[in-house]
Structures are given as C-alpha cells and as structure tokens.
C-alpha cells in the first residue's frame, strides 16, 4: 500500500467515524491520528511529508475496531487512548456478564437498550433526550442490586455505551445532512428529502430548530415524538405554525438522572367478556355427550351483560330441550354470574342433526354424514348440499 493509499484509507475511516458519531470531521481525524500515536492529524500529515507513512495491517485492524466502537462526546474532547482501551474491553463483555455478584444480560430491542438481571432492569431509550428508566419488581425477595449507587452507575454505563453504538448505526444509515446542520442550521429529514432550519412536531405542536432535532436523533425535544411526527411545514395548522411555541433545548443528553419505577409483575386475573365466553363455551363442551351437542356448544351464542350475567342461546336442533348445561352453570357460579338460557333456531351446519346423536366420535360422525349426503348427489353434481 502506497503512502497516498494509506492516507486515503485513514480519511475514509475518519469520515465514517464522524458520520456515525455526528461530530466534525476534524475531530474524527484527530482521533484517528491519536490511535496511531500522533497528537493530532496535522502532525500526522507533517510527518508523512518528511517520511513515508506506513500503517501495519494490525494497526489498520485496530483502527477498524476503533471506528466500530462509538464513544461519548466527553471522550472526543479529551482523547485518552488508555481510557478508550479500558472502555472497549468493558464493552466486549457487555452481552452477558457479572457486576459484583449479580449477573446481567444486555440486549437491543427496537433501538432501545435494555440491561436486566434478577428483579431489575434498565432501559435506555433510542431517544437521547429521554432519561433511562430503572424498573424494580415488587415481589422480589431481598435487596435489589440496582438500588446500590455503585451497581447502578456500572449498569448504566454499560447500557449507555451500547446505546451510543445503536444510535451510531442509525446515524450511519441516514444522510450526512440529517445529523450535521449547515451554517444556516438547515438539516435534511432522514426519512425524506425535505430540508429546513425549522421543524414542527405533529404530536405536540412544537417548533424545533434544525440543530435541536439533529442533536436529538430526530425525536422531538419536547414530547419525544419519533421522526415520523416531524415535518418541515405545519400543514395541520391554520396559520402554518406561526402560533407554535419554540421547544426548549434539552442540553442534558444522556446525562439525566434515571427514572425509577416499581413494577408488580405478578399474574393478575382480568376476567373480561372474551375470557368469560371462552370458559362458558368450554364448559358447554364438557356438558356435551355426543357430536350434535358438541356442535351445539360450538354454535351457541353467548354474551355477557355488564359482567353481571351470562346469556346463552342453544340451537334447539343440536342441544336437547330440557338438558341443563351443568358444567356451564357451575363455571358461571364460580365467576359470580347469573345465567339465562334460551332456545334458538338457525341454520345448522349439516343436515340430519340426529346423526350426531348416535356417536361421540367426530371421525365416525363425518363418515356417517358423508354417506348420507352421497345418497342425494346428482349424476354431475358431486358437491354436498345442505337440505
């Protein structure tokens, strides 16, 4: 590889790094130079002019690994290779690991990053302007490790570092103009070609600057709405958004204190109408002793009246008159519901319902039903018809 090719490769890596991390190109060039032992990019260029710049294959591989690991803005301002290496080693163990005596798992879910262990979880949202959410579970026994400040700090660090990687991938997929405003503050919407220095939120009617929306990864800094709700014109407003108030800037990106929530994840019985009907129909099948009655249970009309009573309409050709659905009545009593049973008449699925009273086997009934229909088939019409 010639000197020109070496420099070209380094510049390509720097451009990729700048794009993924939404920083200026000169910052990325300085970071690349620092990885090669130079104080800044200008010094690297000066040295390359005096002598042939050689980048060994292992150094290039190290630079590739460096570019694939985004870092917080504070690290960009204070380039410390030793600190970077420690952070990289920490990230490599982040999928599954242990903090103290407590194991954790780290994963990405729809661009949110979640780190979780026994009885706790931390979610770092895709939106950089939203604080992390720490959840603990009400029914856990003993102390929860995430309530320990040292443990929380280490867990948050892991989750936030991974969130930086996730956001970097998102930014890399977007046009450069979507994450880097020009001198007039104009940015391009990542999901369209619209460009503007002022943007409007459909969700909260907020007015947002190009710099604000780019910094917040195209989430509304006011309400957190996604890029799908951000437009360059307030087409839904009578005055084109002139009356909309500017959204206040939120400077503490990823710096907010986490929000704590206690979650009771114990199973809770939500006995709604759909579940009541399911149980009653199952009980009717328990009551059925032959195929006709099973079909009657499946065809029965069941409704719940304000969760205080159950109304059951049974087809008179499928369910015997005078037969009480004992199991259905028992289930209703357990649920504290009154039952009203009526007979109904409707089109039954198959002719000769009496055939179903002769067997409790569905396969046997099917054969009997097919044989009965076969007697009425015409010379050219082989399709069974209901009588």
Q: Return d(Cα 7, Cα 11) in angstroms, integer.
A: 6
Write out the residue range of the structural domain in which residue 311 sits. Answer: 273-374
Is the pLDDT assigned to residue 200 strictly greater than 70? yes
Q: Is 309 a domain residue?
A: yes
SS3 at position 254: coil
Q: Is 256 a domain residue?
A: no
pLDDT at 118: 82
Q: Range with the lowest mean pLDDT among 1-10, 48-57, 72-81, 149-158?
A: 72-81
Q: Give exposure, 73-89, as e/b (b: 16+ Cβ within 10 Å).
A: eebbeebeeeebeebee
- Tokens 């032959």 map to which residue? 290
pLDDT at 142: 58
Q: Check whether residue 166 and residue 181 sit in a common domain.
A: no
Q: Check whether residue 113 and residue 128 sit in a common domain.
A: yes
To the nearest whole percent, how much of the chain has pLDDT over 90? 39
Q: Check whether residue 282 and residue 364 sit in a common domain.
A: yes
Q: Is 105 a domain residue?
A: yes
DSSP annotation of 133 reads E
Is the pLDDT assigned to residue 263 strictly greater than 70? yes
Q: Check whether residue 197 and residue 245 sit in a common domain.
A: yes
Q: Check whether residue 181 and residue 242 sit in a common domain.
A: yes
pLDDT at 75: 44
Domain edge (last residue) among 80, 103, 126:
80
Q: Calculate the alpha carbon distances from 225 to 105, 159, 300, 387 in Å.
A: 28, 22, 46, 59
pLDDT at 152: 93
Q: Range with the lowest mean pLDDT among 78-92, 212-226, 268-282?
A: 78-92
Report yes or no: 190 and 231 within 8 Å, Cβ to Cβ.
no
185: nearest Cα among 162, 153, 215: 215
Q: Using a cut of 0.85, tell me whether the model's pTM lies above it.
A: no
Q: Is 266 a domain residue?
A: no
Other Cβ atoms less than 10 A from the Cβ of 318: the count is: 26
Q: Calculate the alpha carbon distances from 8 to 13, 22, 47, 181 in Å.
A: 9, 21, 15, 25
pLDDT at 378: 61
Q: Is 167 a domain residue?
A: yes
Mean per-residue pLDDT over the chain, rounded: 84
Both tokens of 49, joined, read 């002019």
Parallel, antiparallel, or unpaired: how do β-strands 309-315 and 338-344 relate?
Answer: parallel
Is the pLDDT assigned to residue 311 strictly greater than 70? yes
pLDDT at 78: 45
How many domains, in total, are found in the chain?
4
Q: Check whether residue 53 and residue 117 sit in a common domain.
A: no
Is the pLDDT assigned to residue 318 strictly greater than 80? yes
Domain edge (last residue) among 50, 80, 110:
80
Q: How many residues in total does the chain contain?
A: 387
Q: What angle do CA 148, 150, 151 make, to 5 degrees?
A: 65
Is the pLDDT assigned to residue 233 strictly greater than 60? yes
Q: Using 50, 70 and 90 to split pLDDT, how confident is the model at 17?
A: confident
Tens digits of per-residue pLDDT, 282-294? Answer: 999 999 999 999 9
Q: Return d(Cα 346, Cα 58) in angstroms, integer.
A: 80
Is the pLDDT assigned to residue 331 strictly greater than 90? yes
Q: Return d(Cα 370, Cα 261) in angstroms, integer.
A: 61
Q: Check whether residue 145 and residue 236 sit in a common domain.
A: no
Q: Check whether residue 236 and residue 282 sit in a common domain.
A: no
Q: Range with the lowest mean pLDDT among 6-20, 42-56, 97-111?
A: 42-56
Is the pLDDT assigned to residue 77 strictly greater than 50? no
């Amino acid at each position: 590889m010639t000197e020109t090719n070496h420099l070209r490769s380094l510049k390509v890596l720097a451009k990729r790094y700048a794009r993924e991390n939404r920083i200026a190109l000169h910052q990325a060039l300085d970071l690349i130079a620092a990885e090669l032992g130079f104080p800044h990019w200008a010094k690297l260029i000066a040295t390359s002019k005096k002598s042939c710049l050689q980048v060994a294959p292992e150094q290039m591989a190290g630079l590739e690994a460096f570019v694939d690991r985004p870092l917080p803005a504070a690290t960009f301002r204070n380039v410390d290779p030793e600190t970077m290496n420690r952070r990289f080693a920490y990230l490599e163990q982040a999928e599954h690991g242990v903090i103290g005596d407590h194991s954790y798992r780290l994963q990405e879910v729809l661009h949110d990053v979640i780190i979780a262990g026994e009885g706790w979880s931390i979610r770092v949202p895709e939106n950089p302007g939203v604080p992390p959410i720490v959840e603990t579970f009400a029914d856990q026994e003993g102390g929860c490790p995430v309530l320990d400040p040292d443990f929380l700090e280490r867990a948050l660090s892991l989750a936030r570092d991974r969130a930086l990687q996730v956001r970097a991938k998102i930014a890399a997929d977007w046009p450069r103009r979507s994450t880097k405003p020009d001198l007039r503050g104009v940015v391009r919407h990542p999901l369209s070609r619209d460009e503007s220095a002022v943007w409007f939120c459909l969700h909260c009617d907020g007015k947002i600057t190009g710099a604000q929306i780019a910094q917040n990864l195209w989430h509304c800094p006011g309400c957190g709405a996604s890029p799908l709700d951000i437009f360059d014109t307030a087409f839904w407003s009578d005055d084109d958004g002139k009356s909309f108030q500017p959204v206040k800037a939120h400077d503490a990106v990823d710096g907010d204190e986490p929000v704590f929530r206690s979650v009771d994840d114990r199973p809770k019985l939500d006995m709604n109408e759909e579940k009541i009907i399911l149980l009653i129909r199952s009980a009717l099948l328990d009551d059925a002793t032959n195929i006709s009655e099973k079909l009657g249970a499946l065809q029965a009309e069941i409704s719940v009246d304000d969760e205080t009573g159950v109304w059951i309409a049974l087809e008179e050709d499928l369910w015997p008159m005078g037969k009480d659905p004992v199991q259905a009545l028992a289930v209703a009593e357990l649920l504290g519901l009154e039952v009203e049973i009526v007979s109904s008449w409707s089109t039954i699925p198959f002719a000769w319902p009496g055939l179903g009273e002769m067997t409790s086997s569905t396969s046997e009934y099917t054969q009997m039903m097919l044989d009965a229909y076969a007697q009425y088939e015409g010379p050219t019409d082989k399709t069974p018809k209901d009588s």
